[in-house]
Structure 1
Amino acid sequence: MTTDFPGGRLTIDLGALADNWRTLRSISPQSECAAVVKADAYGIGLRRAAPALADAGAGTFFVAQLSEAVTARAAAPGSAVYVLNGLPPGAAAAYAAAGARPVLGSREEIGEWAAFVASTDADPSAAIHVDTGMNRLGLSPDEFRAMRAAGGPGFAPALLMSHLACADEPERPETARQRKLFAELRALAPETPASLANSAGTLRPETSEGDLAFDLRRPGVSLYGANPIAGFASPLKPVVRLEARIIQVRDVAAGETVGYGGVERMRRPSRVAVLSLGYADGILRAGGGADGVPGAAAFVGETPCPYVGRISMDLIAIDVTDTPHAQRGDWAEILGDHVGVDDLGRACGTIGYEILTSLGRRYERTYV
């Protein structure tokens, strides 16, 4: 007897994921297109995403932590895997054993890796990260210049990289400044392949013209169907579809409230459907509705059905008054053809990245 009656079902389209990588590669074919698969491939599952991307042609992957690198290497044998969060103290041997390439962003990390390489026959492959304006990770420009003046890091880096801070806002001048500074620093190490563009950087017109592309691009969230540039006509396909089961439909009189705190009062006699998922499943609490402040919307068939009141841990109420056929057992679209990850992100006061990486563990997952 089955006991598996999930409240939500998540469908992940690996074909769309592969097509998105091909689209991003085609934007600037003169540079390599890597794939960022950190955070369990942005929530869709690293073990399934990496082979699909490798089969499409991706040969370089970026993760955040060593454990993710181990998974990526197993899922896509022969690939180059960089670990963005750097080299923890004493971890050099573990990185080498895993075939993982640390992204070194401090003098201490570079010194430790150089000493390890000098003491063993291990592959010295690693990246060096220079900070050009993010002020998060990376050598300062002066530190990098000093290192080059002193003869280099003590090994041959496989990649020189930096990270764009404002590429998702094309009107901001910071991207041009970062690009200029990075080009100046890269000129000090012309023998090393260079990487600057993230998802937003890859999709900007300057990249197709070669200005931001350099030797390797690192798209992340765009692979998964999100649009990192608001208002941009994205060529990418949605990768995830999320549906929630309707577990009850009830009549609510005009003037009555729904949910915790009574923050939303119904303005008309209404039919309210209750869905079997909530913020424990990654649908952020801020996406609920309140009097005068609309929240997110689900779709039942072709009809938008706004969230009503606060989102609970395991339940969401939606207004199905205009969908008379909605009934117990039906499925409502949370993400899909009508609601993109960026749409739901905006309705929840956040971004598509957080929606994707918050996708819950209780869903029935299907890969197609």
Structure 2
Amino acid sequence: MSTGHLTIDLTALAENWRALDAMTAGETAAVVKADGYGLGTAPVARTLARAGARRFFTAVAEEGAAVRAALGPGPMIGVFSGHMAGDSELIRDHALTPMLNSVDQVLRHFETLPQHPFGIQLDSGMNRLGMEPAEWAALREPVLQQRPALIMSHLACADDPDHFMNEKQLRAFREMTDGLDIPRSLSATGGTLLGPEYHFELTRPGVGLYGGHPFADARPVVTLDLPVIQTREVLPGETVGYGNHWTAQRPSHIATVAAGYADGLPRIMAPRLGLWHGDQRFPLAGRISMDLITVDITGMEGEMPEFLSLLGPHQGVDDVAEAAGTIGYEILTSLGARYARSYLS
């Protein structure tokens, strides 16, 4: 095999959903945007539906249509970006539930798709999506008369339990929604972990389902094995890779593996990243290039392996993200299309 092999453990995905669901008294949805966080819309959505999820969320209507195609009729599929211009047919034909974010979206939805289900997104302080308190106050009564399926907002700092913004947004959301007989949702994965006062009637975890922080107890969902193309002996003073960036300080054994920044592995993480063979870690030697990574496997025990592991039991998506100076979300959603994929269930 000439490409990396990405293995997605659907059993772990389902167990992560069940674990987060068990933390709340209300309903637990599932966020499956960005092609199921890069792992495949259809297998991810179907697995979560079998686990018990009955509401799903995507970023845009096109993603919602793909989830509907995978799940068929029945589950609610919410669209965070709301009802954008040109989305009416997609929303209608695929029975999507847009989370309306603005006065313009409310007017567009009511005019083009009257009686079609919708939700409302409120801005509780993140200043990204949703109606601000003054806008909500102006539209509240006519909107409530149409019985929205859900009222939601989103926490900006939920990954930091002690951040003052969490309580500030909780208060703002309550001020805008207390007393309403409509399901509410404030929390994704981080908010779910903050405790019951943040749960309301619906939580909607995303990255925690896929094994990412801040859900520290999540089961790993993804492993990634990279094939070894070639090995060579390098003498002291010889260099490896572009720019003579790495120089051998001793007789060294170098493996070249098939992956690179075209496969979602940022070039910047090379100095802090290692690949694994069993319980042995081996540092990268030189720069990550478009299609290739060179690894110093000097001292490797046993026979030369066909693969070295980037993601596995010793190194998860958040470890790789830390090496790249980013977050696990970005690593997951950047995993390249060239990888061969298999699903465990």
TM-score range for the pair, normalised by the shorter chain length: over 0.9
The 3-state SS of whatever aligns with 1:299 is: strand
Indicate whether 1:199 and 2:175 are aligned: no
User: How far did residue 153 of structure 1 move?
Assistant: 5.6
Structure 2 CA distance for aligned equivalents of residues 160 and 307 of structure 1: 48
Shift of 1:152: 3.2
CA distance, structure 2, for counterparts of residue 310 and residue 259 of structure 1:
6
Which residue identity does 1:315 align to in structure 2?
Answer: L
Output the CA distance in 2 between the equivalents of 1:166 and 1:259.
40
Deviation, 1:146, is: 2.0
Match of 1:236 among 218, 231, 255: 218
Coordinate RMSD, CA, aligned: 1.5
Structure 1 residue 115, shift from structure 2 partner: 1.9
Unaligned 5+ runs, structure 1: 290-294
1, 5, 8: which one pairs with 1:9? 5
Gaps of 5+ in 2: none
Can you list the C-alpha shifts for 1:142-164, whole angstroms capped at 9, x where unaligned? 1112222x543652110000011
Give the alignment partner of residue 131 of structure 1, picking from 100, 106, 123. 123
Alignment partner of 2:302: what SS?
coil
2:131 alignment partner, SS class: coil
In structure 2, the residue corresponding to 1:191 is in which secondary structure?
Answer: coil
Are 1:68 and 2:59 counterparts?
no
Closer/same/farther in 2, CA of residues 155 and 130 from structure 1, 3 Å limit: same
Cα separation, 2, equivalents of 1:65 and 1:152: 22
| Cross-structure match for 1:344 | 320
Say whether the 8 Å CA contact 2:121–2:130 is kept in structure 1: yes
> Which range is displaced more, 251-260 or 8-17?
251-260
Q: Which residue of 2 aligns with 1:287?
A: 269
Q: Is the 8 A contact 1:130 1:144 kept in 2?
A: yes
**1:1-368 map, 5 Å:** 5-28=1-24, 30-77=25-72, 78-118=74-114, 122=115, 124-148=116-140, 150-152=141-143, 155-187=146-178, 190-204=180-194, 207=195, 210-228=196-214, 234-289=216-271, 295-325=272-302, 327=304, 330-368=306-344
Measure how far apart 1:89 and its partner are: 1.6
Distance 2:143 2:75 in 1: 26
Asked if the contact 2:254/2:294 (under 8 Å) is kept, the reply is: yes
Are the equivalent residues in 1 in contact too, given 2:65–2:90 (CA < 8 A)?
A: no
1:287 shift after superposition: 1.4
CA distance in structure 1 between the aligned counterparts of 2:247 and 2:100, rounded to whole angstroms: 54
How many aligned positions are there? 343
CA contact (8 A) 1:130 1:162 kept: yes
Q: Is the 8 A contact 1:132 1:162 kept in 2?
A: yes
Name the SS of the counterpart of 1:152 in structure 2: helix
**Distance in structure 1 (CA, Å) of the matches to 2:167 and 2:343:** 40
Contact 1:279/1:311 (8 A) holds in 2: yes
Deviation digits for residues 340-359 of structure 1, max 9, x if unmatched? 00000101111111111011
- Cα separation, 2, equivalents of 1:144 and 1:69: 26
1:191-226, Cα deviation, whole Å (9 max, x unpaired): 11100001111123xx2xx11000101100110111
Secondary structure, counterpart of 1:323 in structure 2: coil
User: TM-score scaled by structure 1?
Assistant: 0.90
Write the letter of the residue equivalent to 1:286.
Answer: I
Provide Cα deviations, 1:256-299, integer angstroms capped at 9, x if missing partner: 3221122232333211111111111111111112xxxxx21110
- Structure-2 residue corresponding to 1:292: none
Distance 1:94 1:154, change over 3 A: farther
Q: Identity over the aligned pairs, expressed in percent? A: 43
